């Protein structure tokens, strides 16, 4: 027997496989494919204070090794999440979940965090630091040390739940940003978010996405994500959740060797709705193949 259980800030989960925010909806979209209770947990679709329609279409396209998208945080808002989605989730998912929150000012993050703090179903608040701070010129919160410190401290002041900061990879020194989040009270780090890119339609000569640029995800970014997980996990003492191009049990183990305590699966869910189920089922066999008895023994051992 192998041990796949891991612990995130005192919360033990059955395995390290977690569908990422924005790729698994609120779970109801996947519950008819398989019993999603086999998951470690999952991160709910990114939520903002107010409802958002999102970016104009087209807003998603293929790339040779993944996809590019600019969804624009389309969601029904925090009140619908709490009053409708979470109660519905209780009917088919018995574990706690991760709630991913976004905002365009510190006050918006604080507003959402205060409300989420009261929800017993929520095990972790995941703060999307890739949003533009509209009160400070539009630069994403995760681009500057002082900005990430202010954001982290503000959220931590209004919740007793563990707070994980999801970092933007489109910067030169992600380690300094991660350390600033830790110093300001973050309980964990999630990385990476998508990498900025674009595609051009050769027939029209115009960008494929209406917003011109979007986030690149999928297998193409796995080595980049792995490198950042490796760097950050060695610079901080808090848990790291690795994400970026993960689609197999082997990818999960590689991420954990790099320093991840748990691993999120993103765009692979959109290509294959069974991918997380397959990873979980394959994980014990892959562990046996490489002589791994306990996943906790390999975290950060690369």
The structure tokens 């690369």 sit at: 302
Tokens read off for 22: 């924005």
Among 226, 217, 294, CA closest to 260: 226
Contact criterion met (CB below 8 Å) for 300 and 234: yes
User: In Å, how far are 15, 88, 179, 253, 295 from 262, measured between CA atoms?
Assistant: 8, 26, 19, 10, 10
DSSP string, 174-231: HHHHHHHHHHTT-SEEEE--PEEE--EETTTTEESSTTS-EEEESGGGHHHHHHHHHH
Among 49, 43, 38, 19, CA closest to 109: 49
Catalytic site includes residue 276: no
3-state secondary structure of 60: strand
> Pick the catalytic residue: 112, 131, 136, 276?
131
Contact criterion met (CB below 8 Å) for 188 and 172: no
Active site (catalytic) residues: 131
């Amino acid at each position: 027997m192998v041990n796949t259980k891991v612990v995130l800030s005192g919360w033990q989960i059955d395995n390290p496989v977690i569908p990422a925010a924005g790729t698994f909806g609120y779970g109801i979209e996947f519950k008819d494919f398989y019993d999603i209770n086999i998951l470690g947990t999952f991160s709910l679709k990114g939520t903002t204070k107010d409802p958002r329609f999102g970016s104009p279409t087209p807003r998603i396209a293929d790339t040779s090794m993944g996809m590019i998208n600019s969804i624009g945080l389309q969601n029904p808002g925090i009140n619908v999440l709490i009053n409708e989605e979470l109660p519905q989730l209780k009917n088919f998912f018995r574990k706690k979940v991760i709630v991913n929150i976004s905002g365009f000012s510190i006050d918006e993050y604080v507003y959402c965090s205060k409300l989420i703090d009261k929800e017993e179903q929520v095990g972790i608040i995941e703060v999307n630091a890739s949003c533009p701070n509209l009160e400070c010129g539009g630069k994403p919160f995760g681009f500057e040390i002082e900005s990430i410190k202010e954001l982290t401290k503000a959220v931590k002041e209004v919740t007793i739940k563990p707070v994980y900061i999801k970092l933007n990879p489109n910067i030169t020194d992600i380690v300094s940003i991660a350390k600033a989040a830790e110093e300001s009270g973050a309980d964990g780090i999630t990385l990476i978010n998508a990498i900025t890119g674009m595609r051009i339609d050769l027939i029209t000569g115009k960008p494929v996405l209406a917003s011109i640029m979007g986030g690149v995800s999928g297998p193409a970014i796995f080595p980049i994500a792995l490198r950042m997980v490796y760097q950050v996990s060695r610079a901080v003492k808090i848990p790291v959740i690795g994400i970026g191009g993960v689609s197999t049990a082997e990818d999960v183990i590689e991420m954990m060797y790099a320093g991840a305590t748990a691993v999120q699966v993103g765009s692979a869910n959109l290509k294959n709705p069974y991918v997380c189920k397959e990873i979980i089922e394959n994980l014990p066999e892959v562990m046996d193949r490489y002589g791994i008895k306990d996943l906790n023994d390999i975290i950060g051992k690369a």
